[in-house]
Amino acid sequence: MTKMKSELTSQEILVAFKNQDWPVLERLIKQYTDYLLKGAYSLGFIGSEADDLVQNVWSTFFEILPRFEGNSQIKTFYTEYLSTNAENFVAKMSV
């Protein structure tokens, strides 16, 4: 089993986004998608709902990343959006 490289720092992620360094951004997504899925499962989402929620989190994350000020870790930043997107997802489903 190969050992995964260490977690990307917030600065590395911001530089990769600015430079459109897709291999680094792909590494980010691979590194944290399971983490986000576990979070979605813990919020009661299952199957395709959990997948859709995580996809929405990544979409939102890359949309707002340019406004990231570095006051927290990136992991904290997108974990907050998991919770926010979950609330929005539930609200849309109940309409």
Could you read off the pLDDT of 30-85 as tens digits, one per residue?
Answer: 989 999 999 999 999 999 999 999 999 999 888 888 888 777 787 888 888 898 88
From CA 15, how far away is CA 82, in angstroms rounded?
Answer: 23
Amino acid 50: pLDDT: 94
pLDDT band at 5 (very low <50, low <70, confident <90, very high): low
Amino acid 26: pLDDT: 94
Contacts 24+ apart (CB under 8 A), 77-85: 78/32, 78/36, 79/36, 79/39, 81/57, 82/36, 82/39, 82/40, 82/43, 82/53, 82/54, 82/57, 83/43, 85/53, 85/56, 85/57, 85/60
Would you say residue 2 has pLDDT above 60? no
